[in-house]
Structure 1
Amino acid sequence: MQEEKWVQKYLYVDLSGQKWSERTTSVKKGVGGEALAYHLYALHQEDEPLCFALGTLSGSPLPCTNTLSLVGRSIATGRVEGESSSSLFSASLATLPWRAIVLTGVGRRLMSLHISSRGVDFEVSERFLGMHLSQINQELKGDASLAIGLAGEREVPLASIFEGDHPLERWGFGALLGRKNVKALVVERGDVKREAVEVEKFALAMRRLEKAIARSPYLTTLANEGDLSLLEEGMKRGFCGVNNISLRSDPRLFHLTTSEMVRRYGPIQGYSEEFPSLCHRRIGTRRLPTFVEIMALGSNLGNFEGEVVFELIDEATELGLNPISTGVLLGWIMAARQEVPSDNPFKVKFGRTRELVELVRAIGEGRHGGEELSKGVAYLEKTYLQIDKQEKISSHVNGREMLPIDPRGAWMMGLFMALGYDQPPVGEILLQYLPNCSLFSKAEWAVVEENLWATSNSIGLSKSLFVPLFFERSWFPFKQLFLRHPVTAYRWVSTKLIRSLLGSYLGVKVSLKELINIGRESLSIKESLNGSTIPPLPQRFTINAFSNHPKGRVIPFHKLVERYQFLRALDLAKYRRG
């Protein structure tokens, strides 16, 4: 399969001249999603584009494959970063002839882009200026849309691109879209239908996929609890972020777990066997938060009241701020006030929630001191704190607010955060195959999972399918023992069904090596754009073992990175030679 080339059509949009054109690019067959987005960024990197790409399987009859990948230069980190997410926008875009959109230049005035089978219409209007997300979503006419809030217009590094009330990324692409003077992208469905080349084989593989979804213990838990069950695991293992990620657990986290949330707000709804995706799940009338959002705006602020978490998520979302990054910033502000007295009008401290909604509003709108605070943790600590105090409370990785997960209780997650990934590692957190202190196996598994995630994001699988398809389908009876030694990892990770689905859809035979190489293509391009340097975690997690968890430890970050870099270089060297 890898020898074959695939011609992909994409939209090239020049915002400065309000012009668009259809272009083509040649990639290896099977490359889509994140790999395609990185490829297009590299192709047009002089224009500093923002790229949107559909996964290879997006638009196919398969459930859980309508994913959208975004790649651009992060305002927060200055590096070229990418993120993939399930998206209704992707499903609508897949009915048009193009598999990607490349935005270049800067619009002269604020505008929205309307994409249909006719091409791109530029609607320039100041009436969008200052609109909150709910307002702009009501104004937009089309089958699906992406939008930014006021924070994106103001180029706040914490701003995200949203689909409805769901943030698609955490790299500050909302600010990047605001810098380009684009308020929204709207798509109108076309009449393109994408069918499998080998229809009978594809239908058989689809039936096997449906059975895998129905039988998956992981998806059953996801259906009933979302991923909030990970809070209880975090309390036991000590990776919950409490009080600016200084403590690793707190018994009051019980009030934010699934049982308590369901008791107070009603059953979790929206689960479908055809689309078991977190972003489509609700509790009562609200979007069900992820366990990371719960910690960011809950325990990380010393807040264990679910209603306050929902209020903060709603306020951040309306303004176009990413809830996770916003929560980590708020936690840092509270910690900084303990270290250095401030004349800021917001007298926030851990456990005091009364003024938090107003503070979030000030950050998003840039008033009452919020304009300075909205510049983020990296700027604030460098501007206002001495070096010793910076290191004591720092909570960013290379300029981006870190996840509210304490890496002292999850070493592989710490490495993932340094690499820029927000998804929890399967072996360490989701399925708990790996003991916390297994240094070398975690470095090796990080390479394995990174390859698998990059592959999944490129072919267009929903994140919720990652565990059921790659891990739960493995037949080997002692896999939990052998998965600790990833030298033979690809033998115990199941890829047969995925290869069958992709191969029958494209009409080619896909080997294990060819499947993984789709992900390696994405990682290889990303490394060529950014280099191989891995930014460090805040130093406090590597030298200070003190916390309220009985198992006091630090993360051996430098040894972990050293081992990972060796294995990653070896892995990509083999791929590039091939």
Structure 2
Amino acid sequence: MSFSPARRHTVLSMAAGGFFGRALIVDVDARSASGTPFELDERVLRAYLGGVGLGTWLMHRLAPARVDPLAPEAPLAFVFSSLVGTPLTTSAKFAVVAKSPLTGLLTDALASSQFAIAGKLTGHDAIVIRGRAAELSVLLIDGDGARLEPAPELAGLPASEAETQARERFGRGWRTAAIGPAGERQVRYATISHDGRHAGRGGLGAVLGAKNIKAVLVRSATKVAVADQAGVLKAAKDLRQRSFGPATAKYRELGTLANLLAFNAVSTLPTRNFTAATFEGAPKLAAEELHEMRGVARNSCASCSIGCEHIYSRKGGGSQRMEYENVFALGPLCGVSDPDDVFAASARCDELGLDTISAGGTIAWAMECVERGLIDEPWLKFGDGQALLKALDAIGERSPGLGELLAQGSRQAAARVGHGSIDFAPQVKGLELPGYEPRSLQSMALGLAVNARGADHNRSGAYEADLSGDVNRFDGGAAHVAAAIGTEDRAAVMDSMILCKFLRGVFEDPFTEWATLLSLVTGWDMDAAELRAAASRIVRAKRAFNLREGATAADDTLPARMLETPLQLASGRTATLTADRLQTMINGYYVARGFDEAGRVSTADLPDLFLDA
């Protein structure tokens, strides 16, 4: 039965400009959904900014300690920010925050789309979902609250097709975030998608699937005001102009795939499950080659002026959006150099709803296990594109044997296989490594080891310092600690405001300029010092959540392969990262962050986290 109530257009009360001062807690049960307003103190909004920061605070307040991430009572939050709905470029983003079924720790992921704007304009700064529906359903939220509609006809569909059918059933005014078959089957690295973009890492699609929710539909019902409309418009015009400058030229011209040849040249392109850092097939997969031979279009996210999305033609018809991380993970990491195979694998991940980094990393680990005689699947070989596709299908279906094993991710799969296979599982805290070789990027090595989400390049982009030449990327030390903390703090603010990371290079004095933007929207008199304090608070709150869930300092490490096996470089020299060097950097990180020697947040810091507010 379809549901299409009259729409309401009102301006709800706000704690500050850009915010509504409330979250909606939606409990789904056997046949219905009930939404309860949850008031958000203005002090909390100012302390955590929105987005990932606010989502972290909500998990502290709403997630039962040690809860199973796939249990009905485990909350999943869609979180917005004060900037969503403003004309500021790249601000149409939403964060999804939950406890990860892949890592057992806090996870968050961002996506850009009109879902962010419509979700916020339901009149809430966050939408939190708990419970489990009796049958596969969709959840609808607008100005009249939340309601559940059975949707068994969407079972097994890719997220894009589920979105299309939901729009046909409920009307074009609804915006949809959906899961694919992998999320329904609770693959531990399943994604949530809207309009071809994905909140990808950590298995958030599995959390939604465990609630028997195929899709969340939101519809605008109100408006949100900003404190200084004229000031915001002026700032938006200025930021838009700067977004066309040299800091974003690479992304406009070739997209993130431009990194592939550059990383290959400096021996930091992980290849064949991190056994090498250069790939002989890299030129065939490079943006430069594909742009000339297959480039068909550029596209932009909602409310974005950069246009980093590059779309390429596929063999046999159709097209595919390609980025560095999915090409790295499904190409060099698995030894696959045929672009048609990599394109097809990326498309298969989109259809199934799989995180490409975790899928590629887990399959690459399995390929090495086959080489070592630890897994009896002789067809699964490095360099075989058809084997890659077969493995992805097995994962998406959770087929008995290999599919069920690999659906767990590389850490849990290694625990089952044993025989020392955890030593070469490409993961930190259970999250598979992105396309950056830690032994030749040692600021990044630290960032990957200590990050709350696990092996992550978006929450700790310390590779920026390594590749800039500001530090010796082969010899980690105190400068690398400062670099890792600096990039982690900047990411914490950008992910909470929320602004795209591709804008980071256009700000000459980031914290000051970001504080100005927030002041114009909210009316708060913010400065750089307050924003730096917020960044530190968000990082500490993430760690405090993980400590509550059982994390220890022992989790702050890298796979044994990175710490025991020197890396052969194209230049003929070797790069070595020892366990002692990494631990020295970690100890320096703890001191700088104010943690004790066991990596614990100081009890004196807890009042600053507003966890009792």
Task: State the partner residue of 2:226.
Answer: 196
Task: State the partner residue of 2:564.
Answer: 543
Measured against aligned partners, the alpha-carbon deviations of 1:220-272 in whole angstroms (never above 9, x if no partner) come to 11100111222222123221110111101124212111111112212551258
Task: State the partner residue of 1:315.
Answer: 348
Measured against aligned partners, the alpha-carbon deviations of 1:322-359 in whole angstroms (never above 9, x if no partner) come to 11111111111111011116433x60211222332122
Residue of 243, 251, 260 corresponding to 2:272: 243
In the alignment, the residues of structure 2 paired with residue 430 and residue 290 of structure 1 have an alpha-carbon distance, to the nearest angstrom, of 19
- Paired residue type of 1:551: R
CA contact (8 A) 1:440 1:560 kept: yes
CA contact (8 A) 1:276 1:464 kept: no
Quick check: 1:183 aligned with 2:217? no
In the alignment, the residues of structure 1 paired with residue 370 and residue 212 of structure 2 have an alpha-carbon distance, to the nearest angstrom, of 35
The farther-off stretch of 113-122 and 82-91 is 82-91
Measure how far apart 1:427 and its partner are: 2.9
SS at match of 1:335: helix
Residue of 512, 528, 537 corresponding to 1:521: 537
SS at match of 1:326: helix
- Paired residue type of 2:274: I
State how 1:492-511 maps to structure 2 within 5 Å.
Answer: 493-511=509-527
Task: State the partner residue of 1:365.
Answer: 397
Measured against aligned partners, the alpha-carbon deviations of 1:277-301 in whole angstroms (never above 9, x if no partner) come to 6775433463432212111000111
- Paired residue type of 1:458: S
Measured against aligned partners, the alpha-carbon deviations of 1:31-89 in whole angstroms (never above 9, x if no partner) come to 21111111111121224211111022111122211121121110011112222332321
- Paired residue type of 1:137: E
Residue of 586, 598, 608 corresponding to 1:561: 586
State how 1:396-545 maps to structure 2 within 5 Å.
Answer: 396-418=427-449, 419=451, 420=454, 421-423=456-458, 424-425=461-462, 427-428=464-465, 431-436=468-473, 437-469=475-507, 473=508, 493-531=509-547, 533=553, 534-545=555-566
- Aligned Cα root-mean-square deviation (Å): 2.6
CA contact (8 A) 2:300 2:308 kept: no
Task: State the partner residue of 2:574.
Answer: 552
In the alignment, the residues of structure 1 paired with residue 308 and residue 214 of structure 2 have an alpha-carbon distance, to the nearest angstrom, of 22
Sort the Cα spacing of 1:321 and 1:273 in 2 relative to 1 into closer, same or farther, 3 A. Answer: closer
- Paired residue type of 1:522: I
State how 1:137-286 maps to structure 2 within 5 Å.
Answer: 137-141=163-167, 142=172, 143-192=174-223, 194-215=224-245, 217-271=246-300, 275-276=304-305, 280-284=309-313, 286=319
Q: TM-score, normalised by structure 2?
A: 0.84
- Paired residue type of 2:40: T
Quick check: 1:54 aligned with 2:80? yes
SS at match of 2:545: helix
- Paired residue type of 2:441: A
CA contact (8 A) 1:458 1:518 kept: no
Measure how far apart 1:380 and its partner are: 2.3
Measure how far apart 1:151 and its partner are: 1.0
In the alignment, the residues of structure 2 paired with residue 426 and residue 397 of structure 1 have an alpha-carbon distance, to the nearest angstrom, of 17
SS at match of 1:230: helix
Measure how far apart 1:396 and its partner are: 1.8
In the alignment, the residues of structure 2 paired with residue 132 and residue 508 of structure 1 have an alpha-carbon distance, to the nearest angstrom, of 43
Quick check: 1:374 aligned with 2:407? yes
Residue ranges of structure 1 left out of the alignment (5+ in a row)? 474-492
State how 1:314-393 maps to structure 2 within 5 Å.
Answer: 314-340=347-373, 342-344=375-377, 347-367=379-399, 369=401, 370-387=403-420, 389-391=421-423, 393=424
In the alignment, the residues of structure 2 paired with residue 22 and residue 438 of structure 1 have an alpha-carbon distance, to the nearest angstrom, of 48
In the alignment, the residues of structure 2 paired with residue 373 and residue 4 of structure 1 have an alpha-carbon distance, to the nearest angstrom, of 46
Matched positions, count: 549
- Paired residue type of 2:383: G
Task: State the partner residue of 1:486.
Answer: none
In the alignment, the residues of structure 2 paired with residue 401 and residue 162 of structure 1 have an alpha-carbon distance, to the nearest angstrom, of 20
Task: State the partner residue of 2:28.
Answer: 15
Residue of 88, 96, 107 corresponding to 2:122: 96
In the alignment, the residues of structure 1 paired with residue 477 and residue 426 of structure 2 have an alpha-carbon distance, to the nearest angstrom, of 23
Identity, % of aligned pairs? 22
Task: State the partner residue of 2:41.
Answer: 26
Measured against aligned partners, the alpha-carbon deviations of 1:414-439 in whole angstroms (never above 9, x if no partner) come to 22322133324363366554331352
- Paired residue type of 1:301: C
CA contact (8 A) 2:516 2:527 kept: no
CA contact (8 A) 1:426 1:467 kept: no
CA contact (8 A) 1:152 1:178 kept: yes
- Paired residue type of 1:401: E
Task: State the partner residue of 1:87.
Answer: 113
Residue of 339, 347, 350 corresponding to 1:306: 339
In the alignment, the residues of structure 2 paired with residue 37 and residue 151 of structure 1 have an alpha-carbon distance, to the nearest angstrom, of 24
Measure how far apart 1:569 and its partner are: 1.8
CA contact (8 A) 2:270 2:328 kept: yes
In the alignment, the residues of structure 2 paired with residue 33 and residue 414 of structure 1 have an alpha-carbon distance, to the nearest angstrom, of 26
In the alignment, the residues of structure 2 paired with residue 84 and residue 93 of structure 1 have an alpha-carbon distance, to the nearest angstrom, of 14
SS at match of 2:263: helix
Sort the Cα spacing of 1:276 and 1:239 in 2 relative to 1 into closer, same or farther, 3 A. Answer: farther
In the alignment, the residues of structure 1 paired with residue 491 and residue 26 of structure 2 have an alpha-carbon distance, to the nearest angstrom, of 29
Task: State the partner residue of 2:59.
Answer: 41
- Paired residue type of 2:352: L
CA contact (8 A) 1:64 1:461 kept: yes
SS at match of 2:40: strand
In the alignment, the residues of structure 2 paired with residue 257 and residue 330 of structure 1 have an alpha-carbon distance, to the nearest angstrom, of 22
SS at match of 2:89: coil
Task: State the partner residue of 1:63.
Answer: 89
The farther-off stretch of 514-523 and 173-182 is 514-523
- Paired residue type of 1:266: G
Sort the Cα spacing of 1:104 and 1:270 in 2 relative to 1 into closer, same or farther, 3 A. Answer: same
Measure how far apart 1:161 and its partner are: 1.2
In the alignment, the residues of structure 2 paired with residue 92 and residue 264 of structure 1 have an alpha-carbon distance, to the nearest angstrom, of 38
Measure how far apart 1:148 and its partner are: 0.9
In the alignment, the residues of structure 2 paired with residue 417 and residue 32 of structure 1 have an alpha-carbon distance, to the nearest angstrom, of 24
Sort the Cα spacing of 1:79 and 1:457 in 2 relative to 1 into closer, same or farther, 3 A. Answer: same
Sort the Cα spacing of 1:287 and 1:384 in 2 relative to 1 into closer, same or farther, 3 A. Answer: same
In the alignment, the residues of structure 2 paired with residue 14 and residue 95 of structure 1 have an alpha-carbon distance, to the nearest angstrom, of 20
Measure how far apart 1:568 and its partner are: 1.5
CA contact (8 A) 1:157 1:374 kept: yes
